[in-house]
């Protein structure tokens, strides 16, 4: 079955360390997105990519980086520059059509101690 896989589901890191969250899709979608979710704040867009080798900053890109070397993969790195990285991170994908709707992964909960 097609879908989006995020791994790991839970991740613990020490403060000051970079960490990479994985997102893989086999839906043949061109567009992929990373959102951050915090209680009471909804989903906020970190980065998005609508084509391989190209990506754009979202509303809260500071302290994060991404790559899009393959259509299927869109990893997110949370760097030490991110001031408050503890959050639930969601990856999504879609075809590039506004009315299509996103397909979401099951998320990665990152805790920085």
* Binding of residue 113 to another protein (CB under 8 A): no
Residue 70 per-residue DSSP state:
B
Interface map 12-51 toward another protein (x if CB under 8 A): -------------------x-x-x----xxxx-x--x-x-
Q: Which residue has the tokens 């299927």?
A: 72
CB 110 within 8 A of CB 8: no
CB 45 within 8 A of CB 107: no
Pairing of the two strands 108-112 and 103-104:
unpaired
The residue (of 31 and 80) whose beta carbon lies closer to another protein is 31
In whole angstroms, how close is the CB of 7 to another protein at the nearest point? 13
* Binding of residue 96 to another protein (CB under 8 A): yes
* Binding of residue 102 to another protein (CB under 8 A): yes
Pairing of the two strands 54-57 and 4-7:
unpaired
Which of positions 53-82 make contact with another protein (CB under 8 A)?
58
In whole angstroms, how close is the CB of 49 to another protein at the nearest point? 11
């Amino acid at each position: 079955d097609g879908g989006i896989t995020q791994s790991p589901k839970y991740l613990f890191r020490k403060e000051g360390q970079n960490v990479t969250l994985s997102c893989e899709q086999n839906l043949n979608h061109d567009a992929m997105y990373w959102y951050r979710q915090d209680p009471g704040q909804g989903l906020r867009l970190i980065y998005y990519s609508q084509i391989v080798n190209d990506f754009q900053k979202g509303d809260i890109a500071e302290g994060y980086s991404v790559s899009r070397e393959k259509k299927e993969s869109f990893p997110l790195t949370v760097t030490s520059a991110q001031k408050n990285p503890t959050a639930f991170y969601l990856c999504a994908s879609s075809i590039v059509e506004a009315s299509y709707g996103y397909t979401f992964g099951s998320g990665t909960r990152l805790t920085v101690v």
